[in-house]
Amino acid sequence: MVALASVSLAGVLALAGVLVASPDAPAADGPVWDAGAPTTPAPSGSATPTPAPSASPTPVLRLPGPVPSTGSGTFEYATGRGPVLGRAGQLRRYRVAVEDGADEDVARFATAVDSALGAPGSWIANGQRRFQRVPDGGGHDFTVYLVTAATAREMCAAVWVDNRVDGKSYTSCRGLGKVIINLDRWRLSVPHYVAAKVPLDVYRSYVVNHEVGHELGFAHERCPGRGKLAPVMMQQTLFLNGCVANPWPYVDGERYAGPPL
């Protein structure tokens, strides 16, 4: 994701409203992020208690606590070989790595990446591509890195991507064979997702599928219209421009895309 240095965070926030897009955006035929409701207990002593409505757990929108801003610049790689994700097509093998000092468990990060790439709406949905996680040294096509903001700035700059907003390392990015996920975004999501109560796991699936989409050769796309789902190749980390958050490149089994940027 290319974030130009001239982009201001205030400008980003101005584009986002209560419903991810804007307060007057029409309802979309997409996901509704429910923050959950309390459960009503059954009355005591009732012979035939009325079942209480099941409560949806309050979604985690961002993680509390400080986020390490710098790490060692060295990496721990996930071990083992994951299952083949997808039913047919070209097999792309990937490693998963976490920067030392990021205070993140590499196995847990690997599970999240596997889940994002193996979901029914991911890039495997068309039956023309498959993914498999492999250990370091197992022969890979690309690596998914989780790195601190300082390292993200260095790694993105090395592949000619400016990931800054308001002069600070902000977005994730992709270079040839490198999917670089910014730890700040992995832990904190983005303000317009948080304001709309979009779960952190949804943002995580989005950012993995977005940057892997670049690795597959897909370019940025625009919002197709107010209240519609945002294409996964839209720069949802920066804005939604009236669209609704969406982490998947395929919706109802069909490739979901917007106009080219």
Query: What percentage of residues in the chain have a pLDDT greater than 90?
Result: 77
Contact 248, 208 (CB under 8 A): no
Q: Is the pLDDT of residue 180 over 70?
A: yes
The predicted model gives 179-191 an average pLDDT of 98
144-162 pLDDT, tens digit per residue, is 999 999 999 999 999 999 9
72-94 pLDDT, tens digit per residue, is 999 999 999 999 999 999 999 99
The predicted model gives 169-184 an average pLDDT of 98
Q: Is the pLDDT of residue 51 over 80?
A: no
Output the pLDDT for position 216.
98
Output the pLDDT for position 55.
66
> What residue ranges do the domains of the chain occupy?
9-27+65-255
Could you tell me the pLDDT band of residue 57, with boundaries at 50, 70 and 90? confident
Q: Is the pLDDT of residue 32 over 50?
A: no
Output the pLDDT for position 134.
98
Contact 199, 206 (CB under 8 A): no
pTM of the model: 0.81
CATH number listed for the domain at residues 9-27+65-255: 3.40.390
